[in-house]
Amino acid sequence: MNVRAMFIDMDGTLLKASNSISRRNMEAIHRLMNQGVKVFLATGRHYEITAPYHREIGLQTPMICLNGATVHTAKSGRVVQMKTVRLNEERFHHLTAEIPCNVIIHTANGIYCKETNEEINNWTKVGQVPPRYIGDLRQANYQDVLKYSVRTGFPSPNLSALFKKEAEVIDWNDGFEMVAPNISKWSAIKSLLSELRISPNEVAAIGDGPNDIEMLRHAGIGVAMGNAGEKVKVAADFVTGHHEDDGLAEFIEQNLLKRYESYAI
């Protein structure tokens, strides 16, 4: 299969638990780019904490952020696609304000959260943009929501199911996320492929989370990380190594690079 583009998830895929890119992953990506393959980041992160890694790798491609809710240009970070999600806010806050959970609301103007934590503090350190509001979100004045994240600390399908008529729900082991209906990393990828005149069959996608399932199912080659959950692995064509063992580089080296090199002979 002639792969012309690769879409890479960040947390649990590109990055180690230390939030760093290994030398091996970096080198594998650069070798792939040198062979003419377009490499993209496709992440649940917001732009400010995606862009530093995008620059570190040296990518010149658009960034897919917030599970496909936004697409940003490579150079300026300008938003070229944006899909907001609309919930019944009174109902949402009634269901989440009094239970022990954190709520993070990603908007076009920044993050609003119920409380801060180590993850949000790391986002602030990497992106150099602190939350716009921390506290009772019923008192916050926000608009243009791109993603809601509810962190309960455990799977919460009964709670997340209450919002499935209003949003695209992604269940995690520690809670759930919501974006606009029919929005996913794959929906953003499809729009980029159309502009680039690249067929889905010419695409490789790699990830480890439930927000990666759609792109793994629909890409020509879907790759699950070794640290991925079983539902993610079932959706993929290949399973590679753990992200702490450079599973991303392993797949590129053993499949894409050898394949391209064999064509060159």
> What total number of domains does the chain contain?
2
How far, in Å, CA of 47 to CA of 14, rounded? Answer: 16
- One DSSP character per residue, 118-148 reads HHHHHHHHHHS---SEES-GGG-----EEEE
Q: Where are the alpha helices (DSSP H) in 206-257?
A: 213-218, 230-235, 247-251
Please check whether residues 17 and 146 belong to one and the same domain: no
pLDDT exceeds cutoff 60 at 154: yes
Please check whether residues 115 and 67 belong to one and the same domain: no
How far, in Å, CA of 65 to CA of 48, rounded? Answer: 10
Q: Which of 245, 246, 248 is nearest to 224 (CA)?
A: 248
How far, in Å, CA of 215 to CA of 219, rounded? Answer: 6
Phi/psi of residue 7, each to 5°? -110, 125
Residue where a domain stops, chosen among 161, 179, 197: 179
Query: Percentage of the chain surpassing pLDDT 70?
Result: 97
What CATH code is carried by the domain that includes residue 204? Answer: 3.40.50.1000
Q: What are the angstrom distances between the C-alpha of 98 and each of 82, 94, 191?
A: 31, 7, 39
Task: Note the pTM of the prediction, 2 decimals.
Answer: 0.94
Q: What residues make up the domain containing 105?
A: 89-179
pLDDT exceeds cutoff 70 at 262: no
Q: Scan for tokens 């506290």, then name that residue.
A: 135
Phi/psi of residue 185, each to 5°? -60, -40
Residue where a domain stops, chosen among 179, 210, 240: 179
What average pLDDT does range 115-120 have in this prediction? 92
Please check whether residues 187 and 62 belong to one and the same domain: yes
| pLDDT at residue 261, rounded to an integer | 47
Please check whether residues 109 and 160 belong to one and the same domain: yes
> Could you read off the pLDDT of 182-220 as tens digits, one per residue?
999 999 999 999 999 999 999 999 999 999 999 999 999
> Could you read off the pLDDT of 217-246 as tens digits, one per residue?
999 999 999 999 999 999 999 999 999 999
How far, in Å, CA of 218 to CA of 235, rounded? Answer: 9
| pLDDT at residue 2, rounded to an integer | 85
Q: Scan for tokens 């230390």, then name that residue.
A: 18
Q: How confident is the model at residue 1 (pLDDT cuts 50, 70, 90)?
A: low
Q: How confident is the model at residue 260 (pLDDT cuts 50, 70, 90)?
A: very low
pLDDT exceeds cutoff 60 at 264: no
What CATH code is carried by the domain that includes residue 93? Answer: 3.30.1240.10
Q: Which of 136, 129, 126 is nearest to 103 (CA)?
A: 136
Give me the chain's average pLDDT, please.
95
Residue where a domain stops, chosen among 155, 179, 203: 179
Please check whether residues 17 and 132 belong to one and the same domain: no
What average pLDDT does range 66-72 have in this prediction? 98
